[in-house]
Amino acid sequence: MLRYPTRPNQQTLASIIKTCATLSFLTFGYQLHCLSLKLCLSSQPFCASSLIHFYSKSRLPDNARRVFDEMPHRDDVCYSSMVIGLSQNSRPVEALALFGEMASRNVRSTVYSVSGAIGACSELAALEQCRVIHGHGVVTGLIRAVYVSTGLVTAYGKCGMVTDARSVFDESLHDMNIVGWNAMMASYAQQGDKASVFELLGLAESRGLVLDDFSFLAVLTSLYNSGLADETEHWIDRMKAHYGVKPSLEHYTCLVGALGRVGRLEEAERIAMTMPVKPDAGVWRVLLSASAAHGDADVAWRMSKRLLELDPCDDSAYVIAANTFSASGRWNEAANVRKMMNNVRVKKEGGRSWMEVRGKVHVFLAGDNEHERIEEVYAKLAELMKEIEKLGYVPNWNEMLHDVEQGEKREGLSYHSEKLALAFGVLSGAAPPGKPLRILKNLRICRDCHEAFKYFSRILDKEIIVRDVNRYHRFLDGSCTCGDY
């Protein structure tokens, strides 16, 4: 076409740019962008939307945003492309801000912009924002779109609100495809609710839906979180023999984790070494955590070395191994691991917890002194700690020792970030009567905080949901759904 006098228009370039995005032809995409600039088409809606899509798919969100910002007139398609692009490139805050800008400028919402905004809420586990967009979907009628309803199921599930997720799922049941069923099963699986997962699995099969690898990942995750190693192994075999689905790395990770959870560490390690897919850092990290939970310092150190071969700067490999040596009374080996960590200049990731109160996210660090109400928070936490000690709570001094060795800003278990977030939540009335108190954390919840939260749920007479880096912990009436693992 370029060899003939006929010049391409914006629709021509849009089609070819979309093809580049599909095929990941980055260099040719750059050339087409240059051509669109020469032809003064780069800011036209069709061409610009395609460029935004291309750069977003290429993991270049800044380039996509620059194209968007250079457009003199932006329609609903351009906004939708940018909202989805930011959401899919781990820019959830920017995606939600842009979605809000759409509304303020009276730009019509589309299925894609709403699903992109819901995806951003899902990544942030921002429950209040999720409910606002849910309401917007109802008002605009976009809730009926399968992309939107499926996204809401996932978002509510990641917020720990499984009842809300099931409500959306049931309302959209007739339109749900296997992706929506998988999203609902995954929400239950993260809670370790295997009964609900298998209920949905049976219903899906009875409706003639074809189960895929994500369906089985939900099944295996629920079994792993329930600590059922034999059943996990059985379903790996059944996937292959009965359903003809080839297990992937994620499926085998569930099996390795389930075996490790029940203390079958050697068997778990053997499977990791012999499975038909190459183990990644996630497999070794699961085994490292399991060996630490069972106090097997030798296996923990072996897994740490495997993890460090893949990523020499992985702080968890050093910290968990050192803590396991310390818990086993092997102080010299613990000191050597920490010395190795210092030599390569790797620092332990600081504990950070956050919660959403009336649309605003409040973040707390371990030993925090930055929050505007921090003195009130410490006072309330001291009051709560005294109450749970009356019920029989005893601090875990091993955790205290690790804090001192790691040089926390303020010594003591009381200053862990999730405890500070809880105290703030109580102070600010974050959860009305009958509603759970929700906390998110960037690391695994420690043993001491886990024990304390069981007592907190009793004295506050409230359900507390803590989403840590691995799973959801639902505390109610002095117990947790994880079974204290």
**337-361 pLDDT, tens per residue?**
999 998 888 888 788 898 888 878 8
Q: What is the pLDDT of residue 321?
A: 92
CA dihedral defined by 318, 319, 325, 330, rounded to 10 degrees? 80
Cβ–Cβ under 8 Å, residues 177 and 199: no
**Mean pLDDT (whole number) for 31-37:** 94
The angle subtended at Cα 409 by Cα 406 and Cα 410, nearest 5°, is: 105
Q: What is the pLDDT of residue 266?
A: 93
pLDDT band at 105 (very low <50, low <70, confident <90, very high): very high
pLDDT band at 471 (very low <50, low <70, confident <90, very high): confident
Q: What is the pLDDT of residue 411?
A: 42
CA dihedral defined by 422, 426, 430, 436, rounded to 10 degrees? 70
Q: Which of 305-319, 408-422, 449-463 has the lowest mean pLDDT?
A: 408-422
pTM: predicted TM-score of the whole model, two decimal places: 0.85
Six token digits for residue 171: 């309302």
pLDDT band at 399 (very low <50, low <70, confident <90, very high): low
* Nearest alpha-carbon partner for 323 in 297, 344, 346, 298: 297
pLDDT at residue 481 is higher than 80: yes
CA dihedral sign, ordered 257, 261, 262, 266: positive
Q: What is the pLDDT of residue 412?
A: 52
Residue scoring higher pLDDT (399 or 31) = 31
The sheet carrying 352-357 orders its strands as 360-365, 352-357, 437-441, 464-467, 472-476, 479-480
**Mean pLDDT (whole number) for 248-263:** 94
Q: How many other C-beta atoms can be found within 10 angstroms of the C-beta atom of residue 470?
A: 18
pLDDT band at 470 (very low <50, low <70, confident <90, very high): confident
Q: What is the pLDDT of residue 414?
A: 63
pLDDT at residue 122 is higher than 50: yes
pLDDT at residue 398 is higher than 90: no
Cα 407–chain centre separation: 28
